Amino acid sequence: MAGRTGIVDLPLHGGHAPRWLFARMVRLSREIVLVLADEFGTEGVLARLSDPGWFQGLGCFLGFDWHSSGLTTTACGALKEALHEVGNEIGLWAAGGKGATSRRTPFEIAEAGPKLAVEPEPLVYASRMTAKVDSAALQDGFQIYHHAFFFDRAGRWCVIQQGMNEKTGMARRYHWNSEAVVDFVCEPHAGIVGPRSDLVLNLVAREADGVRRAIPELAHEPPPRLASELSRLRGLTLPRRHAILVSDLDPRRLQTVFLSTYTSEAVTFEGLLATPGVGAKGLRALALLAELLYGVPVSFRDPARFAYAHGGKDGMPYPVDRETYDRTIEVLGQAVRRAKLGARDELSALRRLARVGGSLTTPPQERQPERE
């Protein structure tokens, strides 16, 4: 990610990619994935998908709007269709998607279970925890509506999910990579791309370690006491930021949530986060109470950062050139087919061309040596 940090806005756009374009996106995605898997293995594919800058470039290369929220959902959809065709061949699969499709992620992971070298349960847990972190532990004003989970035979995975803020008309994309996740609840993201938010409650920030340790202890206090303290908190003269965070917390309605935390056996923040029924408002209330009662500050740091070969769907910077697009698919497909027969000249040439053009985003020490 060196040299690719910054901020970029992703406006929420309606509509769909036309069928003629999406069909080409699937075919081109298939050839790209085959080339990358051949050169760098499935771990190399996952590493690149978890890089916000690389993924943004992929969406542009596929001919979608460079700054549209639809780049995320459409590129992931094309990749999923492509992996449906070649996933068993290379040992890489995709699950989830937009809206109701995202809720099928655990079932789709389980379907691939017999083909994996690991048990699928940890993958299902990873899918659920990444969604829970970005929807409840990182409260930045964006509601998650897209969750794509990519995984390989060895149990490595990456997540690309996106949230929307209807008030601002903006979107935010979140990237995860299993190889970089040491702790699900402490600085777990490979990257986040989107507009910076003015109001954030970040319970997965490194500096929020104190509140993460305090919340599970506080969660096992009797629910009436928590509701009473929350009512007191609402009546205090609070700084502007705290006043906004506490404004829509109803102590009476949160008693049900407090009861679920009180009866749970969770002793860690991650365990509490995984508890059914514990969502954004419950965690926000516990975090603010932890600050009030224990003096452990919460974090308001926004972790967002940023990161045309064929034109764009909306004609920017120019309309999609179908002839050039089809030629690219043909060239990549021929390179993959010849590589399988032992002739790797085309792939070697593409590698050299990539270096001239600035190279791939993977750091040099992580790249495999050239195979002639």
| 224: three-class secondary structure by DSSP | helix
- Which residue, 139, 283, 40, is CA-closest to 54? 40
Strands 170-177 and 201-202: unpaired
**pLDDT value of residue 62:** 84
Identify the weakest region by mean pLDDT among 133-142, 302-311, 362-371.
362-371
Most confident of 21-30, 147-156, 183-192, 315-324: 147-156
In sequence order, what E strands does 213-352 have? none
**pLDDT grade, residue 14 (50/70/90)?**
low
**pLDDT value of residue 317:** 39
More confident residue, 289 or 11: 289
More confident residue, 362 or 33: 33
Percentage of the chain lying above the pLDDT 90 cut: 50
Contact partners, residue 304, CB within 8 Å, separation at least 6: 7, 140, 172, 192, 193, 194, 195, 196, 197
More confident residue, 301 or 151: 151
Centre a 10 Å sphere on the Cβ of residue 48 and count the other Cβ atoms it contains. 22
**pLDDT value of residue 361:** 40
**pLDDT value of residue 339:** 66
**pLDDT grade, residue 331 (50/70/90)?**
low
- Write the Ramachandran bin of 224: left for phi over 0, alpha for psi from -120 to 50, otherwise beta: alpha
Which pair of tokens denotes residue 163?
């949230």
Chain segment 219-277, per-residue pLDDT in tens: 999 999 999 998 888 777 666 667 667 878 888 889 999 999 999 999 999 999 999 98
Chain segment 335-361, per-residue pLDDT in tens: 666 666 565 565 554 554 444 334 334
Q: How far apart are the first and last CA of the chain?
A: 28
Which pair of tokens denotes residue 229?
């303290």
Q: Contact at 8 Å (CB) between 180 and 50?
A: yes
Chain segment 111-135, per-residue pLDDT in tens: 999 999 999 999 999 999 999 999 9
**pLDDT value of residue 44:** 94
Q: How far apart are CA 208 and CA 188, in angstroms?
A: 13
The amino acid at residue 312 is: G
Mean residue pLDDT across the chain? 81
